[in-house]
Structure 1
Amino acid sequence: MPVRLRKFIGTIIIVFLVASYALIANTIAVARLGDTPWWGHLLYFALTGMLWIIPAMFLIKWMQGPKKSQ
């Protein structure tokens, strides 16, 4: 698969990943964090704000294509 096509597909997947992840994370926050103190909100949103990076990292590596041997 050409790298250009991988980047196009990967970009679409990343946009969908971020949008759906934000929707799910905020839905969970609204449903579960109503009575928690401010530091609970801070901890939750700090954790969920960094957690989406893991699947995006693997997707970006895939978008770069196979490594060229020297």
Structure 2
Amino acid sequence: MTVKYNQNGELTMDGISLKTIAQSFGTPTIVYDELQIREQMRRYHRAFKDSGLKYNISYASKAFTCLQMVKTGG
């Protein structure tokens, strides 16, 4: 995930203006980087796959769970 300011001084995430997201969806809005989450899950898988241990990689959620995150985290 790349978070930086664009040429207009707006904060962006992967090139998308967070101001635009807030205007479209209201505030507060929670934004997740799906590619980063999937990469982290792959890293855990690579770390455990040859360990001989039985494992399951899941996304832990306490206060906020959305259907798409459940589908992504399996």
* TM superposition score normalised by structure 2: 0.36
Choose between structure 1 and 2: higher helix proportion.
Answer: 1
| Larger RCO (alpha carbons 8 Å, 6+ apart) | 1
Choose between structure 1 and 2: higher strand proportion.
Answer: 2
